[in-house]
Amino acid sequence: MSDNQSNDLEDPLTRWLNSQPQAGPPPTQRRHGLRFAFYGRMSTIEHQDRVTSRHWQRDCATELVAGHGTIVAEYFDVGCSRRRSWRQRPQAAALLAALGDPRRRFDAIVVGEYERAFSANQLQHLAPLLEQHSVQLWLPETNGPVDHHNPTHQALIMMLGAQSNREVQRARFRVITAMRAQTREQGRYLGGRPPYGYRLADAGSHPNPAHAQWGRRLRRLEPDPRTAAHVQWMFTQRLAGHSLASIARGLNDADIPSPSGIDPERNPHRSGDRWTLRTVAAILANPRYTGRQVWNRQPAHSDHNSSSHKRQPIRRNPAAEWVVSKQRVHTALISEQDFVATQAIHSHRTTHDGTTRHYLFTGLLRCGACGRRMESHWVNQRPGYRCRHGHTSTERPTNRRRKVLYLREDHIIETLAGHPRLSSDAQSPYDLAALLHRNKITIVCYQEHCAPIIGSVRAGQPAEP
């Protein structure tokens, strides 16, 4: 049923339209055709109209499959970049999950435009899965189903992927170049959540007359009366020689809300109210507290393969790559001199002889009692490992704490040497560590012994070797 029919069946124009002959084969022919799942996507919520975008994509898909079947299911992603793999898009991931369901409602997938669904080599990676489940993919660019073994179709898909990737790169270059100029020359706020200690305020009409006519306005940072003083206190404490752990403990003891506690709606992935070393360190390393606008502190896009569905860690760009406004553009919470002095304070003490400490089993050891990953710990001039069972230096010690597990690295090597589950090819401790890394073997440790296992151990759960 069309949208006009669903709106008002009594409307005279609708009745007239329904009485007109339709193009294509009669309904009885279509009913016995293929069942299609329509997939569509739009990149942004703020700058695109969902209704318009969905309808033109679906109209293209409907026209493509006319006479061959009917669209019986719909999957439409909103706010998803084409660079994200299908497994990273909620609706596309649901469509992939439905492929393996023997009771699925569709026989084929149809999209309204290649670039709405795929980028770069995503389709090549998806093709084996579609063939495994005997599901066709219909594209307007192929005027029907894609034949993944047809050389002409293979060349066309490669060309479409290259064109899509080229357009992404061109658009990205234009946007990044503009954002650099807007930050450096104008000090413009370019979006994102405001740093802890600030809130957003109106900064006047948009300098572009067209945007201003549409009612768009600029925004700037201003001190948040709830949190600005806490930021200043952190810098004062750090300059006075206090450690990050001491600062975090002071905030926790005073029940000062952390960033996720102040704004829980924008931090649903965080548990909430406790300050951590990483949170304090991130605030003390943020140059925006000097009143300057700063952009490009972290990459604007992910460099991982677009077909991967693994989440990649966020890595900061080197300070030399940051883009900093020429002038102060919002109220500073600290002076530039104090910020620079804070950066000169090292979080970790260097060794007396200047040597680097090496740990062979970093990331390979799990506590058998609680399942947590053991941390490297240098004690008595030797490398070792410990598990504090969830206690951190940001909290005060309590009498109910479980006894800390300490293990020396040389004792672990002795325990694992000749273990029946490990290869005898490891002639040195370095060979042993390489063997564990290569085969993804985890060592479960207790006070009395260690044992290798293959598989994952979740934090908070005892491990069974």
Query: What is the DSSP secondary structure assignment for residue 400, as one 8-state letter?
Result: T
DSSP secondary structure, 49-72, as one string: -HHHHHHHHHHHHHHHHTTTEEEE
| 346-384 core/surface letters (b: 16 or more CB in 10 A; e: else) | eeeeeeeeeeeeebbbeebbbbbbbbbebebbeeeeebb
- Residue 294 has a pLDDT of 92
Lowest mean pLDDT among 169-178, 200-209, 453-462: 453-462
- Residue 424 has a pLDDT of 64
Question: Which of the pair, 443 or 95, is modelled with greater confidence?
Answer: 95
Radius of gyration of the chain (CA): 29
pLDDT per position as a tens digit, 143-161: 999 999 999 999 999 999 8
Cα–Cα distance for residue pair 116/132, rounded to 1 Å = 23
Cα–Cα distance for residue pair 435/186, rounded to 1 Å = 54
Q: Which domains does the chain have, with CATH numbers?
A: 24-165 (3.40.50.1390), 198-207+217-301+317-343 (3.90.1750.20), 365-454 (no CATH)
Residues in the chain: 465
pTM: 0.57
- Tell whether the model's pLDDT for residue 361 goes beyond 50: yes
The closest alpha carbon to 369, from 411, 395, 405, belongs to 405
Query: What is the DSSP secondary structure assignment for residue 100, as one 8-state letter?
Result: T
| 3-state per-residue secondary structure call for 212-245 | HHCCCEEEEEEECCCCHHHHHHHHHHHHCCCCHH
139: β partners:
144
DSSP secondary structure, 425-464, as one string: T--SHHHHHHHHHHTTEEEEE-SS-EEEEES---TTS---
Q: Across 168-213, where does the E strand assignment appear?
A: 198-205
pLDDT per position as a tens digit, 288-331: 999 999 988 887 655 444 444 445 556 778 888 899 999 999 99
For all residues of the chain together, what is the average pLDDT?
82
Return the top range by mean pLDDT from 40-44, 133-137, 401-405.
133-137
- Amino acid letter, residue 258: S
Lowest mean pLDDT among 6-20, 160-174, 298-312: 298-312
The closest alpha carbon to 293, from 160, 194, 392, belongs to 194
pLDDT per position as a tens digit, 91-121: 999 999 999 998 999 999 999 999 999 988 9
- Residue 307 has a pLDDT of 44
Q: pLDDT band for position 442 (50/70/90)? A: confident
Q: Across 285-381, where does the E strand assignment appear?
A: 292-295, 323-328, 365-367, 375-379
